[in-house]
Amino acid sequence: MPGKVLHIDGDPNYLKKCLTLYEKVGVPVYGFHCNEKEMRDKVGSLIDYYRPDILVITGHDAYSKSKGSMDDLNAYRHSKHFVQTVREARKKVPHLDQLVIFAGACQSHFESLIHAGANFASSPSRVNIHALDPVYIVAKISFTPFMERINVWDVLRNTLTGDKGLGGIETKGVLRTGMPYNKNSSD
């Protein structure tokens, strides 16, 4: 059983592209479009309803030099909203391996997202990331057995953006295998 994903995205078009790729690679996913500013208020009830193994929080972000230094969350379009959403998710599921979280978007404040409780995030070098990069990371997590650790470098080198746009911490996979397997089963 590959890990179930709940993908919350601030852009309905990017969400649709991601959902298409999840389906193509066989990752079970629930997609939900939500404005970045509202994600914090909705993430708890979505986690309760869908019970995901992996949570993806994406949308749009950008660093604005005119609004402050790179260390100032107020200088980012939506990084603080992503950070607040990660914190709310961690209130529901505090353990890093019971709910794996990917958070962030183009130029997001990587360090704050990791400190808030994300396992993987964007963007260490404040670069734009490819919209499908979170799907590549999540697919690796979803199909790695829960007794195995994910090598962060192995995951990042298989993304389009690489370690300039994405990073993370050591995390366990979420795949579970069982016997017997009935391929006609709907569950």
pLDDT digits (tens, 9 = 90+) for 71-127: 999 999 999 999 999 999 999 999 999 999 999 999 999 999 999 999 999 999 999
Which sign does the torsion angle of CA 121, 82, 105, 17 carry?
Answer: positive
Please report the pLDDT score of residue 185 as a whole number: 61
* Cis-peptide, bond into residue 69, ω within 30° of zero: no
pTM here is: 0.93
Of 167, 110, 107, nearest to 134 by C-alpha is 167
Which two structure tokens, joined as six digits, stand for 126?
């404040």
Q: Any idea where the domains of the chain sit in the sequence?
A: 5-172
Mean per-residue pLDDT of the chain: 95
Please report the pLDDT score of residue 162 as a whole number: 93
Of 137, 140, 144, 98, nearest to 121 by C-alpha is 137
CA pair distance 73, 111, nearest whole angstrom: 10
pLDDT (tens digit, 9 = 90+) per residue, 40-51? 999 999 999 999
| Tokens 């599921």, located at residue | 93
Q: Which CATH architecture has domain 5-172?
A: 3-Layer(aba) Sandwich (3.40)
Q: What percent of the chain has pLDDT over 90?
A: 89
Paired with 76 in beta bridges are 63
Mean pLDDT of the 125-152 span = 95
